[in-house]
Amino acid sequence: MRIFIVDDNINVVRILEKIIYDKELGEVVGTSYNGPDALKEIDAIRPDLVLLDLLMPVKDGISILKEVKNKYPEIHYIMISQVSSKEMISKAYENGIEFFISKPIDAIEVQSVIKNVTYKFEMNKKLQTIQGLFSDKQSASVLEHTKDSIIGIKRVMQRMGILSESGSQDIINIAKYLIDNNKHTSDETIADLCSHFTDNPKVMEQRIRRTAAIGMKNLANIGLEDYMNEIFTEYSNGLYNFEQIKIEMDFIREKSKKRGKVNLKKFIDGIVYYSETEKA
């Protein structure tokens, strides 16, 4: 993976470079500290992945993204930001950002996010081969629908705070498979669904379960702070059994030693449902 870093803070750039090399996440093929220079360098280098600071003087990250995304759609983009505004985050996703890395920089998050993008990069290569089996018109229609659905899935997971978790890409892959094949989780076991993507479905299922459990914990914490929060009220029933959310809330409050349980089929079916309602 050939990685280009754009951030107006030289310390952030150095930290990211160190993490990338220490964790063997790829090769840093260039860096830039402002928008105009970044555009020239991206034109010249054509990296596989751009780590892009959201807030920069002269030209911010979204402005850069708008200029290069259509020109180089094959490049992957990760936004670096301290911003927590839902509107700004939504705008970034709409313009082609795939993941966020939060400031201050955390090595574990950087590693997890870049590994997810690398996996997607490799999957896209396989997808390009498969596209040759379809007519241009059919392929374009399928890919456009899939792209929109994935945007919806990412929005849901971002709101729940699980987008950068290790199982997030696994969830996206299974949801995409169900959507593309017009299937439901009742048609296959979770293990069978995982077996479409790996020779070790048990490990993949465990990653998904851990990610869904983290989502439950995050929702329970939101509910404890604000029981009428829209994210809590929407997803606590749509993705989980609400009784299990309440059990998790009691665990967090130390009223019980029992944790809430995740129904993976309900969770994945909910993700597929919200992929349609959240993509608009």
pLDDT (tens digit, 9 = 90+) per residue, 7-50? 999 999 999 999 999 999 999 999 999 989 999 999 999 999 99
Rounded CA-CA distance 216/208 in Å is 12
Helix (H, G, I), strand (E, B) or coil at 1: coil
Rounded CA-CA distance 34/168 in Å is 31
Beta strand residue intervals within 54-199, DSSP E: 76-81, 99-102
**Which pLDDT does position 205 carry in this prediction?**
95
The DSSP H or E segment spanning 171 is helix 168-180
Highest averaged pLDDT of the listed ranges 54-58, 83-87, 265-269: 265-269
Report pLDDT digits (tens) over 155-180: 888 888 898 888 999 999 999 888 88
- Give 202's pLDDT tier (boundaries 50, 70, 90): very high
Answer yes or no: are the C-beta atoms of 205 and 191 closer than 8 Å.
yes
Give the residue, 259 or 59, on which the prediction is more confident: 259
Q: Which structure tokens are listed for 197?
A: 């993507």
- Give 135's pLDDT tier (boundaries 50, 70, 90): very low
Rounded CA-CA distance 93/80 in Å is 13
Rounded CA-CA distance 234/231 in Å is 5
**Which pLDDT does position 162 carry in this prediction?**
92
**Which pLDDT does position 145 carry in this prediction?**
47
Give the residue, 119 or 104, on which the prediction is more confident: 104
Number of residues assigned to the chain: 280
Answer yes or no: are the C-beta atoms of 113 and 164 closer than 8 Å.
yes
Answer yes or no: are the C-beta atoms of 215 and 161 closer than 8 Å.
yes
- As a whole number, the mean pLDDT across the chain is 85
**CA trace torsion 144, 147, 151, 154 (10° rounding):** 160
